[in-house]
Amino acid sequence: MILTVTLNTALDLTYRVPALVPHASHRVTQVIERPGGKGLNVARVLGALGHETVVTGFAGGATGETLRTLLARTTAGQPVHDALVPTSGATRRTVAVVDAASGDTTQLNEPGPAITPAEWTAFTGRFTELLAGARAVALCGSLPPGIHVGAYAELVRLARAAGVPVLLDTSGEPLRRGIAARPDLVKPNAEELAQLTGSREPHRATRDARRRGAHAVVTSLGPDGLLAATPDGLWQASPPAPVKGNPTGAGDSAVAALLAGLVDGADWPTRLAHAVALSAATVLSPVAGEFDATAYEALLPRVTVHEPATAA
């Protein structure tokens, strides 16, 4: 199985409005509730791709109960197995407001509940147990209050000690400390990469991030695709054309594709092509953690993967 970790889970609410106008009242035409947080989105996409997945992290309060109920109802592909650890605080909510006129999305994210030292100890025990059956693990998203900034570095070291490949997808100081623990793969976006390395030139920054400890670095370039610094060289993968829609969860779908490629033993060009196609197909879906399967199949053969000239 593939294990995904979401320390700051969320109940995702998506509101669709005809047009989002500042300082105005809006009539919501559609409301969608989904279990959320980056690792849960990754797990749901992996399940839809046919991979057995287990999710862990924290869930608490009424929103946490709703999240777990919705997670149990996930029906696309393989079921997602719930190994979330209870917390006394209430799971946060995130609200995505989709403007039907423009296709743009406005995102509002709550901070999450404070995690106690005892709850963190319970989680690390659960995580260590789950590693015994994992083929790969993804550590995803922000840290809730109360968890020390080196938490992901601690989890990377536990995964490496268990011989389980680990992907890290976070930002800021947790990314800086986590990458030094030598994960197999990190997947920042361009802004997160610039904050980590101090460079906004993607090729230089991606290679610099890899020198900081990661075995491989895959940088999201938004609508322009992905850039990867790997042991086999530098690769760039691009969609045939930018797509418009709800970008929430697109990066999580890319992580799911990269994990699937890792456990399937695919080469880097194949992994990146699937990640770009799946990410674009997620933008075309109205809800994070889901993708347009028809678009995915149509986009995949049209993704271009090449070695940039700057790789020399």
Using CA atoms, how far residue 112 sits from 8, 11, 37, 93, 96, in Å, is 6, 11, 11, 8, 16
Q: Which two tokens stand for residue 311?
A: 């790789």
Question: Of the residues 252, 264, 267, 292, which is catalytic?
Answer: 252
Strand partners, 137: 3, 166
162 within 8 A of 132, measured Cβ to Cβ: yes
Rounded distance between C-alpha atoms, residue 231 and residue 247, angstroms: 29
Q: Which two tokens stand for residue 226?
A: 């992905």
Using CA atoms, how far residue 55 sits from 72, 149, 267, in Å, is 11, 21, 26
Check if 252 is active-site.
yes
| H-type alpha helices, the chain | 38-48, 61-72, 117-131, 151-161, 172-180, 190-197, 202-211, 250-264, 268-283, 293-299
Locate tokens 């989002």: which residue? 20
Rg for the chain, CA atoms, rounded: 18
Number of separate helices (H) and strands (E) present in the chain:
10, 15
The set of catalytic residues is 252
